[in-house]
Amino acid sequence: MSKFLTKQELHNLAMNHVGEDLEQRGFEFIAINSTLKRHPQFVCIDKNNQYYFVIVKAVLLPDNPNNYDVIWMETFKKHAHEKDAKVLYAGVGLGNPKGEALPIYLNEEYLIEYNGIQVLDMNLN
């Protein structure tokens, strides 16, 4: 019998996709935190030594992975600003290709909706 992925395992799967994207873009990882609901998931620097805090959010399709809690994000942007870091957001939608009501199973095909990394405006509201 196939094992379905837990919320933590879905989060880790999303982090793997985002981590590969960050690596291809030339970011260097300073810290990685894969614990669910602990932010940021990645602390990176670019070639100019600019720090970035990367938020990864995994959602089950058909939910929109590009949506995030704007009010919570304002408090996080304040934290990043205090640390002289920029904030990147990466939403990842995951689903079962056999139907959206079905869970995603370990070692089986899955759907992914990933539109890349969003650079968030650092102006505080």
Question: What confidence tens digit (pLDDT) does each residue in 53-110 have?
Answer: 999 999 999 999 999 999 999 999 999 999 999 999 999 999 999 998 999 999 999 9
The answer to whether residue 1 sits within a structural domain is: no
Find the mean pLDDT for residues 22-43: 95
Instruction: Judge whether 92 lies within some domain.
Output: yes
Q: Identify the three-state secondary structure at position 107.
A: coil
Average of pLDDT values for 45-57?
96
57 to 50, 86, 89, 92, 96: CA distances (angstroms): 22, 17, 8, 6, 17
125, part of any domain: no
Number of domains within the chain: 1
Q: Is 70 exposed, middle or buried (0-12, 13-18, 19+ CB in 10 A)?
A: exposed
Assess if residue 2 is contained within a domain.
Answer: no
Q: Does residue 118 have a pLDDT over 70? A: yes
CATH of the domain at 31: 3.40.1350.10
Residue at 113 is within a domain: yes
112 assigned to some structural domain? yes
The answer to whether the predicted template modeling score (pTM) of the entire model surpasses 0.85 is yes
Please indicate, yes or no, if residue 64 is contained in any of the structural domains. yes
In a domain, 124, yes or no: no
Whole domain around residue 40: which residue ranges?
A: 7-119
Backbone angles phi, psi at 47, to 5 degrees: -65, -15
